[in-house]
Structure 1
Amino acid sequence: MDLEPRLRLMNWLVSQGLTGLSENDLIRGFCERCRAEGLELSRGIVFIDTLHPIFEGRGFRWNDTETNESESFEYGSTSAGDAAQNWRRSVFYHMLEHGHQELRIDLAETASLGFSILPELAEKGHRDSLVFVHRFGESGSIGQMDCVYSYWLTRRPEGFGEQELSALRDLVPVLGLAIKSLAQADIARTLGRVYLGRDAAGQVLRGRIFRGVTERINAVLWFSDLRGSTAISESMAPGEIIPFLNDYAQAAIDAIHDADGDVLKLIGDGVLAMFTNADLAVARRAALRAEHGFRKNIASLSARRAAYDRPTTSAYVGLHVGEVFYGNIGSEDRLDFTVVGPAVNEVSRIASMCRSVDRELLASSAFRSGLDAAGQRYLVSTGRFALRGIGHAQDLFTLDPDIAANEALGGGYARYLAG
């Protein structure tokens, strides 16, 4: 590949990296353009570690023929088990251990080298490979994301020529920079969702990062906490406490997200969330759907934990509706994107009342009154209460106990929630 087509391809990579073309499209476009310019690639793979609570990194593939492989893949931890063994047998691990940034491998010789994957590629007709590890500087690394790995194959019997090798050495670092840019944007989105919540993360990434920038919204508020968690935590081994809290937090968060709610804050074993919609009756029903899903999740979770003789519990949920301030609150160098206002205090007090009246769910009169007639009939009064720190007494409601005891009524409630 001559200098002019190399420059054209570099310009294309830079422009597409800036516009945010997806990794799959970027790899495909790169390989197809290389082939059009005479660089006969037969396969390319690029992968990069990331910061994510579930998987360690992502990879992207291109082949010159149809295969049953996916264009992209995610991989978990390579520090233990079969994944660790496979990683240690890879050419990339070998390169890191020996400080190589580039390695050319004749695929006819792979059997003697002991690397995983490459012998299989040789059997599929690939003949030559060029492998890269492009390292980042210390200031360019994020967690384990400290380099871009890639390899490039050809089926040409004579392998890559010097001009093709030179072109790959020029072009792949530019491709790696574009992939790194996309990975960093994805890391920002992931960390935002994980630590701020889905809606709050979206707003922060759109530029709402100034202290005091809030909006007044009406929202359905959820507050839940675990029954007897302090006593349970004191009775278990220290190493079991965090898994216990994580299990039940997962049960709540999954249910809230499945009902299109947003988790705003985790407070010990408590969860603060909100449900919004132009029609708050829809948001109210979504909150009830989340509470119903939460109970099902708890039942499944507790059965699994009990099978291993691990402590189990249930949870209290308070539901309320009110006006809140939603946005940035804090100091100039430490902000929290959350909701504040009297309604937030009130929903936590409602959840606390569950213990006193021995009910797992309590909803305010403001929550119940905004439901349609069908929904209101499923909530029954538990009495009128003065909430601690709240200046007025109010009626609180819970699910009709007959929902659990009467199959017809329970089926009707399930259909109502699904409607």
Structure 2
Amino acid sequence: MDPAAFARIARRIADASLGGLNEGEILADFCTALNEVDIPVSRAVLGADTLHPVLAGRIFGWKRDEAGIILHEFGRSTTEEGERKWRESPFHHLEQTGAAQLRVRIDGHNGDFPFPVVTDLAAEGYTDFLVTMTRFGDKAIIGQLDSIYASWSTGTAGGYTERQIEMLESLIPFAAAAIRSASVRRIADTLAETYLGRDAARRVLSGTITRGEAERISAALWFSDLRGFTRLSDTVSPELIMPLLNDYAGAAVAAIHQHGGEVLKFMGDGILAIFRNDGERHTDLEAATHDALRALCQAQKNLREVRNRRANAGLPVADMTVALHVGDVLYGNFGGEDRLDFTVVGPAVNELSRIAGMVRVVDQPAILSAAFRQAAGGMKDKAVSLGRYALRGVETPQELFTLDPEFLRAKLMAA
């Protein structure tokens, strides 16, 4: 390959990265470029670990004669079979030995191959197999993303020439750097969404990061917490508390997201969420309240399943109360100069907190404000009055409501 061709491929990789292509797209474009300069890659597999609450990593597969990229995502927990396959792989060999590459010439080999995958490739007609691992420096490592590992197979008679191997090895670091950039971008999206919420993450990553930058929105507001959690945490082994919180939060968050809500904050056993009157999913405040009610019913169904599973396993259980309110709030960045939170603030949020604090008085699984009931329009007849109560910090007594037990029971049966 002449220097001009090498430079064209390096520039092509850079353009793919700067253009925002994902890992699989960069791999496909790189392999296409290699074949255009007579480096005959027929099949490529690329893998990278990641920083994700559920996934351990991703593997991308490309074949010259097939359209598209095959993506395999693998979780943090592995089966015995999965662990065996990993230990028998050439990637594991490179990880253990610290080597940067290994090559197996398949064409003309006696058939006693060192890895099961090479036996499979031989049966498919491949003639040469190069495996590479591009390791990052300590300052470039993010979580488990510490290297890019890949394999490059060809079906050309006689396999790769030494010159082709040399040029391929020279270009791989460019592709690895571009793929690392795409992986880091994906990690940033994942972590922002996981810790901030989907909409807040989108806003922050699009540049809404100035302290005090906020917009006034109209929304249905949700606050849920576990009844008797303080007593439970005082009587149950601390090692059992975190799994309990995860089980209950998972049930509530799934329901909120399913019906268009955004979880903004976890406060111990409490969850603050909003259903925005955004003109898209929720075309008006009534639509937002209806989705909040649907989420409440779904959460109760999810929690019933959690309770049954945990009780059958002899684990501690709890009940959850949901408080619902509506109002105009400020949605954006609040906090100190070097520690901000993307959340909602305003009198309506304070009132929601006071309403949620009435759980010991009313002893109901759902508490609705009068404003929420009014905004619910066609569903407001499903609410039953609990009476008027003086809320701390609120000037006049407020009438509170709960859902009609028959309505909630029917929803749970139908869910």
Give the TM-score category using the shorter length.
over 0.9
Q: Who is 1:145 aligned against?
A: 145
Please name the residue that 1:83 is paired with: 82
Cα distance in 1, alignment partners of residues 61 and 349 from structure 2: 48
In the TM superposition, residue 113 of structure 1 has moved relative to its aligned partner by 5.2
Aligned to 2:344: 339
TM-score by length of 2: 0.93
Amino acid at match of 1:396: L
CA contact (8 A) 1:91 1:116 kept: no
Deviation, structure 1 residue 356: 1.2
SS at match of 1:274: strand
Which residue matches 1:318? 323
Deviations 1:230-258 (A, max 9, x none): 22233332221110110000001000000
Residue 390 (structure 1) aligned with residue 394 (structure 2): yes
Three-state SS of the structure 2 residue aligned to 1:266 is: strand
What corresponds to 2:47 in structure 1?
A: 47
Work out the percentage of aligned pairs sharing the same amino acid: 43
Structure 1 partner of 2:129:
129
The structure-2 alpha-carbon separation of the partners of 1:110 and 1:380, relative to structure 1 and needing over 3 Å to count, comes to: farther
What is the TM-score when the length of structure 1 is the normalising length? 0.92
1:212 aligns with 2:212: yes
The correspondence of residues 13-412 of structure 1 with structure 2, limited to 5 A, is 13-66=13-66, 71-77=70-76, 81-107=80-106, 112=112, 114-277=114-277, 278=279, 279-372=284-377, 374-404=378-408
Secondary structure of the structure 1 residue equivalent to 2:335: strand
CA contact (8 A) 1:351 1:361 kept: no
Listed one character per residue, the Cα deviations across residues 364-407 of structure 1 (whole Å, up to 9, x for unaligned) are 111111122x21111121111111232321111111122256x5
1:100 Cα shift? Answer: 0.6
Find the aligned partners of 1:107 and 1:297 in 2 and give their Cα distance.
54
Report the residue type matching 1:247 in the other structure. Answer: D
Size of the aligned set, in residue pairs, is: 409
- Report SS of the residue matched to 2:215: strand
Secondary structure of the structure 1 residue equivalent to 2:103? strand
1:309 partner letter: G
For the residues of structure 2 that align with 1:82 and 1:243, how far apart are their CA atoms? 27
SS in 2 for 1:377: helix
Q: Partners in 1 of 2:191 and 2:114 — Cα distance? A: 38
Distance 2:2 2:168 in 1: 12
Contact in 2 for aligned 1:78/1:87 (Cα 8 Å): no
Whole-angstrom CA distance in 2 between matches of 1:333 and 1:234? 34
Aligned equivalents of 1:352, 1:214: Cα separation in 2: 27
SS in 2 for 1:117: helix
Describe the superposition over 1:2-21 as per-residue Cα deviations: whole angstroms up to 9, x where unpaired.
43332222111110110111
Deviations 1:346-369 (A, max 9, x none): 112212212311111011111111
1:159-192 deviation per Cα after TM superposition (whole angstroms, max 9, x unaligned): 1102211221122111111111111111111110
Q: Residue 288 of structure 1: CA displacement?
A: 0.5
Q: CA RMSD in A?
A: 2.2
CA distance in 1, matches of 2:405, 2:247: 27
| Structure 1 stretch displaced more, 42-51 or 1-10 | 1-10
Given that 2:23 and 2:182 are in contact with CA atoms closer than 8 Å, whether structure 1 keeps it comes out as yes
Which runs of 5 or more structure 2 residues have no equivalent in the other structure? none
Question: How big is each residue's C-alpha offset from its partner over 1:16-59, in whole Å with a ceiling of 9 and x where there is no partner?
Answer: 11011122222222222222322211100111111100011112
The Cα shift of 1:79 comes to: 7.2
TM superposition shift of 1:340:
1.3
Output the CA distance in 2 between the equivalents of 1:110 and 1:7. 39
Q: Distance in 2 between matches of 1:70 and 1:64?
A: 10
Displacement of 1:122: 1.9
d(CA) in 2 for partners of 1:119, 1:232: 57
Structure 1 residues 87 and 76 mapped into 2: Cα distance closer, same or farther (>3 Å)? same
User: Is 1:110–1:118's contact at 8 Å kept on the other side of the alignment?
Assistant: no
Amino acid at match of 1:305: R
In structure 1, give the amino acid aligned to 2:391.
L
Paired residue type of 1:401: P
User: Structure 1 unaligned runs (5+)?
Assistant: none
In the aligned structure 1, how far is the partner of 2:72 from the partner of 2:110? Answer: 24
Distance 1:241-1:111 versus aligned 2 partners, 3 A rule: farther
Query: How many Å separate the matches in 1 of 2:332 and 2:197?
Result: 12
Structure 1 runs (4+) deviating above 6 angstroms are none
CA drift at 1:330: 1.2
The residue type equivalent to 1:377 in the other structure is D
Determine if contact 2:90/2:115 at 8 Å carries over to the other structure.
yes
Residues 254-311 of structure 1 show CA distances to partners (whole Å, capped at 9, x for unaligned) of 0000011000000001000001123111111110111011011001111111221212
Q: CA deviation at 1:71?
A: 1.1
Alignment partners' CA distance in 2, 1:113 and 1:232: 59
Is 1:5 matched with 2:10?
no
Deviates more, 1:333-342 or 1:102-111: 102-111
Letter of the structure 1 residue corresponding to residue 350 of structure 2: N
